[in-house]
């Protein structure tokens, strides 16, 4: 595998190794034939475009489509989203992950209704003032809803530009970040920004994929420096793997007469506002003793049984959950007064967070 000469590298660091117009022209031609039809492509409504862009952050199109449709059924307009209680928005978001996005959606809707009569701003600078909107999302809304010349640099575009210009730096370093934004801006055409933005997103999703890119089908093949220098498999450069810590938790299915105890997490913080089974961090001691000690005051425990385990990965840690069924003595009667006792058959409908959703199949074990 041959690397770039130092002269090539210097040039690719400073200026684009091809005419910017050639990229836009090739991409637009390809997009007319191969672009995807997606539910949010039929509209220029900034509310719908913003909703799709927030949902698509760190999330695949396949996972987003159903959520996008359900959200619009329930909140067809920004004003409906602003008027809803936060809990309802979070419940509808359950399962999509990165829950701060749901809180930011709600906060943005309320801010826009209160300060701008429900109108979206069109400029990147004003969009950046709204909760949960970063530079690339602001660029996408500005380009897709208002056809304004605003670059985007999401994960797909970052990868394409690293390869197209054969950038031999870690793509998230501050020096690479500056170059990539500069290149993204140079490449964004003066006209047809809406189509160009969708085209480059589609190229990253369909052709210039993270693994096994389809270079022979790529409209940019003749321009691509990574392709001509045989660097495609090496770019973008990858940072050395980080050790992600493992946390252990005991989650409890506390059962009293075919009902179980569930609780909603506090509105702010990790998984804020989502539902879960009660639980405790797994310490060094025996789990059964810990459970008995922790819940001694609640009710008499008549039986405890391990149902199984589940694992879930978050961005900063991995979680391993041991799931116990704890039968409570019905003669105590405490459950009658408690608030969140749910029939076991209704658990499927509850918006549990991802790790505890994985426990549901274990209940019948």
Exactly one of 54, 164, 335, 350 binds ligand SF4 (CB under 6 A); that residue is: 164
Give the range of 63-71, 94-102, 211-219, 295-303 binding ligand SF4 by CB under 6 A. 211-219
Build a one-symbol-per-residue string for 217-256: x at contacts with ligand SF4 by CB under 6 A, - elsewhere.
-x-xx--x-xx----x------------------------
Give the range of 29-37, 103-111, 156-164, 239-247 binding ligand SF4 by CB under 6 A. 156-164
How far is residue 317 from each of residues 54, 59, 246, 260, 309, measured CA to CA in Å?
Answer: 23, 18, 6, 28, 17
For residue 192, the minimal CB distance to ligand SF4 (Å) is 20
213 lies in the binding site for ligand SF4 (CB under 6 A): yes
User: CB-wise, 141 or 232, nearer to ligand SF4?
Assistant: 232
16 lies in the binding site for ligand SF4 (CB under 6 A): no
Q: Which residue has the tokens 């489509």?
A: 65
24 lies in the binding site for ligand SF4 (CB under 6 A): no
Give the range of 47-55, 111-119, 210-218, 305-313 binding ligand SF4 by CB under 6 A. 210-218
Q: Give catalytic residue positions.
A: 53
For residue 125, the minimal CB distance to ligand SF4 (Å) is 30
For residue 231, the minimal CB distance to ligand SF4 (Å) is 9
Among 28, 97, 29, 102, residue whose Cα is nearest residue 71: 102
Using CB under 6 A, list all residues that contact ligand SF4.
160, 163-164, 207-208, 213, 215, 218, 220-221, 224, 226-227, 232
């Amino acid at each position: 595998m041959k690397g770039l000469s130092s002269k090539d590298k210097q040039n690719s660091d400073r200026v684009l190794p091809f005419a910017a117009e050639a990229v836009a022209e090739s991409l637009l031609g390809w997009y007319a034939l191969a672009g995807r039809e997606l539910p949010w492509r039929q509209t220029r409504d900034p509310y719908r475009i913003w909703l799709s862009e927030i949902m698509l952050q760190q999330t695949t199109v396949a996972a987003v489509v159903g959520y996008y449709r359900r959200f619009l059924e329930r909140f067809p307009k920004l004003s409906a989203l602003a008027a809803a209680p936060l809990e309802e928005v979070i419940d509808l978001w359950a399962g999509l992950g990165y829950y701060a996005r749901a809180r930011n959606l709600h906060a943005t809707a309320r801010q826009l209704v209160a300060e701008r009569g429900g109108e979206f701003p069109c400029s990147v600078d004003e969009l950046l003032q709204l909760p949960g909107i970063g530079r690339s999302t602001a660029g996408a809304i500005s380009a897709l809803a208002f056809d304004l010349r605003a670059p985007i640099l999401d994960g797909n575009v970052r990868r394409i530009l690293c390869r197209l210009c054969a950038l031999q730096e870690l793509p998230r370093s501050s020096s690479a970040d500056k170059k990539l934004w500069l290149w993204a801006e140079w490449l964004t055409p003066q006209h047809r920004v809406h189509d160009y933005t969708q085209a480059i997103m589609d190229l990253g999703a369909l052709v210039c994929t993270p693994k096994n890119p389809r270079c022979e089908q790529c409209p940019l093949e003749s321009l691509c420096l990574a392709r001509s220098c045989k660097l495609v498999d090496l770019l973008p450069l990858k940072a050395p793997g980080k050790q992600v810590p493992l946390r252990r938790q005991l989650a409890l299915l506390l059962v009293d007469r075919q009902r179980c105890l569930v609780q909603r997490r506090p509105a702010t913080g990790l998984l804020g506002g989502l539902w879960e089974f009660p639980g405790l961090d797994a310490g060094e001691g025996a789990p059964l003793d810990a459970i008995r000690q922790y819940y001694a005051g609640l009710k008499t425990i008549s039986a405890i049984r391990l149902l199984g385990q589940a694992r879930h990965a978050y961005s900063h840690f991995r979680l391993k959950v041991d799931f116990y069924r704890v039968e409570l003595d019905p003669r105590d009667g405490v459950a009658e007064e408690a608030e969140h006792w749910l029939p076991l058959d209704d658990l499927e409908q509850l918006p549990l967070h991802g790790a505890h959703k994985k426990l549901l199949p274990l209940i019948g074990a």
